[in-house]
Structure 1
């Protein structure tokens, strides 16, 4: 157990290797808590977050008793039915969810307690739960955000190794719209000079509007740690002419310059208006909310960064 202290936050039941998570050791645990207060974290729009899965490197914990623990927490007298967000760190619809099927249980628990739900994901596996979400949305507010960084499959694969294709994500947006769930699309992580051309953005927004997206936000790529270094190494091999320009855009920071952000905002504004994707919920986003704008791990993970729209 000592070797797992960074990952395991409950009682370990067993550790296994399963086909849905090749090369990853899966720890099935009994969680002690589910709800995490993020009120003091400005990168979160919501006050509470929770997760059924948690990834750290080559290990993944699965909270086998997630629904039971969550039910106990949301039925306390002190619970004020504030929105609970999924996917602010790790995508709840990673491939292992196909085996464990934890999300239908926890979604039902939140619906029973009249607790609003916010989902952030990049996985088409969400479509499995669309009938349930549609039913829940009749009585409880449900917000769903899908990350689509680009329509270019090769670049998308570079930005998010092992994640679903852009075409699959656009199809998911269409499915959400058909279910009446008004999908929000996060254009994130947006790779400067590779996917931010006005014609590229116009094509992407056109496809999203046709699929039924209700609104969009955009978040430039952040270059953090080893993954940022790997991306720059790849850039040097595949696009050496852009390396100097990236150094100018980022400097010694992990995020783009304010000048780039302002120019991107000025180009995005007319496009968002043209395609009718500037819903009120977008303008209300705080300036730091944008799950998935950093280079993600290969588990469809999401995290926080600067949002321009």
Structure 2
């Protein structure tokens, strides 16, 4: 059941192709293209090396503006660019919940776990307007289909009751993405996303509220956030938030993301450009031995800090209530 993009008709050079199939709405500096999804479930390529096989995403494009996002490439197929357009022009699949219900009910569907939000954060600001996620969560829950919501946004807390109820019918989890806890790096690479501390507070709130939440440690940046100190700090903070698991994902640089990330690297760390060219010269992924070494280090740290055990081995250094007053 491969993902079927919108039909892309040849159009004039000055007009994005997506505008020929979508209802366009403007919200401040954001352009939303409302479309009817023809297919809801997308097969995730094995080359992506993610712990999921299938995905469904209500949004394509993301206001978080993460410079490394692999979803950037998809904007090119819509007649948009993978840079600023990805951050400011978002495709909204307004009928995704209905399409999802039909596909989940198909005899061809085998009930495999589904990840929500790979081509754009499910809880980016556009979700405050469209409110697509509650229906999507209910569709998966009613089908008894396991799923994981991927996000960097505190808006997921709005739907914590829906997620908790879904957990009574199927395996419903959340995964908050925190690749590193250095706020200076975050501001440069994830300009529209909440800070790492706020995301970890979201993880803690979900776990305390009965919604299992892990930390997707993505991305780990070679030569920037892969030091022992960086890895230890991130895993320790995940443990303090009560994360049920931590999954390391080393930076990938497919076309679209590669250009946007390398422009940032040249500005902020010009001395690393040749080393990144060597690391990623032949593939969007870092060498297998490097990735295996990172995974082994994170596994040892997760065991040390007790991640995944029934009881926390570490306390949070501050309460979410106290920190929220500072955000």
- Give TM class, smaller chain: 0.7 to 0.9
Aligned residues: 273
Map of 2:115 onto structure 1: 85
Alignment of 1:75-224 (within 5 A): 75-224=105-254
Q: 2: CA distance between counterparts of 1:194 and 1:75?
A: 45
| 1:63 corresponds to 2:69 | no
Q: State the shift of 1:76 in Å.
A: 4.0
1:184–1:216: 8 Å Cα contact kept in structure 2?
yes
Of 45-54 and 98-107, the range deviating more from structure 2? 45-54
Greater RCO structure (CA 8 Å; 6+ sep): 1
Map of 1:51 onto structure 2: 57
1:67–1:105: 8 Å Cα contact kept in structure 2?
yes
Q: 1: CA distance between counterparts of 2:39 and 2:139?
A: 15
What secondary structure is seen at the aligned counterpart in 2 of 1:225?
coil
Residue 31 of structure 1, aligned match among 29, 37, 40:
37
Unaligned 5+ runs, structure 1: 280-309
**Distance 1:255-1:174 versus aligned 2 partners, 3 A rule:** same
| 1:275 corresponds to 2:284 | no
**Distance 1:115-1:229 versus aligned 2 partners, 3 A rule:** closer
Q: 2: CA distance between counterparts of 1:197 and 1:153?
A: 16
Deviations 1:192-239 (A, max 9, x none): 222112112111111110111011111222233354234334333333
Q: Name the TM-score, length of structure 2 as normaliser.
A: 0.73
Unaligned 5+ runs, structure 2: 1-7, 62-74, 76-80, 310-327
Q: CA RMSD in A?
A: 2.8
1:29–1:64: 8 Å Cα contact kept in structure 2?
yes
Q: Name the TM-score, length of structure 1 as normaliser.
A: 0.77
Deviations 1:157-202 (A, max 9, x none): 2222322211121111111211222222111111122211211211
